[in-house]
Amino acid sequence: MVLFQLRAQDIPVDSTGYKSRKLKVEEVNLVSSYYTQNGDHSAVTGGIGTQKLTDIANTIDVKMVKYGQTGIKHTFDIEAGIDHYTSASSDMIDLSANSSASSSDNRFYPSLTYLRENEQKGQTLGIGVSSSTEFDYQSFGGNISFSQKTKDRNGEFSARFQTFIDQLKLVKPDELRPGGEGYGSAGRNTFAGTLSYSQIINQRLQVLLVGDLISQNGYLSLPFHRVYFSDGTVHQEKMPDTRFKIPIGIRASYFMGDNIIIRAYYRYYTDSWDLKAHTADLEIPVKITQAFSLSPFYRYYSQSAAKYFKPYGGHSQSDEFYTSNYDLSKFNSSFVGMGLKLTPPDGIFGLKHWNTLEIRYGHYTRSNDLTSDIVSINIKYR
């Protein structure tokens, strides 16, 4: 995240200055993170048991820009990431051998985005593609977007449509695989539309309104999640094959002089599984010196339970759909942490173009006994 960034509308458009028509690298971001969690409600073992997991992620994001003969700005954003995770809960998919193909895995996720911006008209068109690959999951995505600034450049309307076409490998718990049968497969589709409007109220206050409509269909269960019924029998998680989600939110940024920004965010969420949630987020970047800033942040989240959730041993044969995944239970959570940003005049380690170093740490606690920690490092080249 870039702090204290000049807003585009604060920079006058130079229609006479030279703009390179050659494709050049404008920005490179190298991001690494380490995530660890623990808890006692693993869905793999029916809502009980360890949720211990670690994940190491590395991504590189390269943004390249050129101007066409008519002055149109063309931006190409290429990103590639790879994660490696180990999961004690996934290691329990095969109880008899205490080992499974999903106890550790790698995920690779490249993406490409193209933006065509008419700076004179304040209009931007975009298109993008992405994919994500791991042992039991393959996803392909596409998106298109449009944004239009108001005549005074103080407001901007944006629209975005995304789709994800996924294929899941049906890795069942071992006792539900009669005769050691192989893995089947199933599809899942997601379609999401987003509308947003941002407005500069005055020199200090900027507000963003955003709403989403999300539709999913296909296989929406996770095949390796067990559900234990009240009669002691074990079953594979079963969820409806459709889900409709509506999140709406408002974000505000208030500039308190040159050294402090207050960023606040609220979101309300509801879906067709009767899950409702509230999110409140606050971050206050503070510039200590010209080259050093701190950003304390806090996020509070609360949700009701989905109507298909019951804990271990809570479901019965009369239930049409069932899950003991505590991500769908009633809970509240807190996420608190600090960001540190360095922008030395001579660059990071004296390398002029590597001009920004960000380190962020966050601690997460959930009322149903899940805790996690994440550390991330971002080095920027401009």
C-alpha–C-alpha distance, residues 163 and 189, integer Å? 7
CB-CB contact of 339 with 358 (8 Å)? yes
Q: Write the CATH number for 193.
A: 2.40.160.40
User: Is 9 strand, coil or helix?
Assistant: helix
Considering the entire predicted model, what is its pTM? 0.90
Question: What is the predicted pLDDT for the residue at 180?
Answer: 65
Q: Which residues pair with 374 in a beta bridge?
A: 35, 362
C-alpha–C-alpha distance, residues 55 and 87, integer Å? 9
Q: 35: which 2 tokens? A: 């995530």
Question: What is the predicted pLDDT for the residue at 4?
Answer: 35
Question: What is the predicted pLDDT for the residue at 102?
Answer: 54
C-alpha–C-alpha distance, residues 171 and 185, integer Å? 9
Q: 129: which 2 tokens? A: 């593609």
C-alpha–C-alpha distance, residues 262 and 281, integer Å? 11
Question: What is the predicted pLDDT for the residue at 2?
Answer: 34
The whole domain housing 26 covers 2-381
User: Is 10 strand, coil or helix?
Assistant: helix
Residues of the chain predicted below pLDDT 70:
1-18, 20, 96-102, 180
CB-CB contact of 163 with 139 (8 Å)? no
Using left for φ > 0, alpha for ψ between -120 and 50, and beta otherwise, residue 327 falls in alpha
Domains in the chain, number: 1
Return all residues near 148 (Cβ < 8 A) that are at least 6 apart: 122, 123, 124, 156, 157, 158
Nearest to residue 82, comparing CAs of 107, 54, 105, 102?
107
Q: What is the mean pLDDT of the chain?
A: 92
Residues 165, 245, 297, 302, CA torsion sign = negative
Determine which helix (DSSP H) or strand (DSSP E) holds 198, and give its type and residue range.
strand 184-200
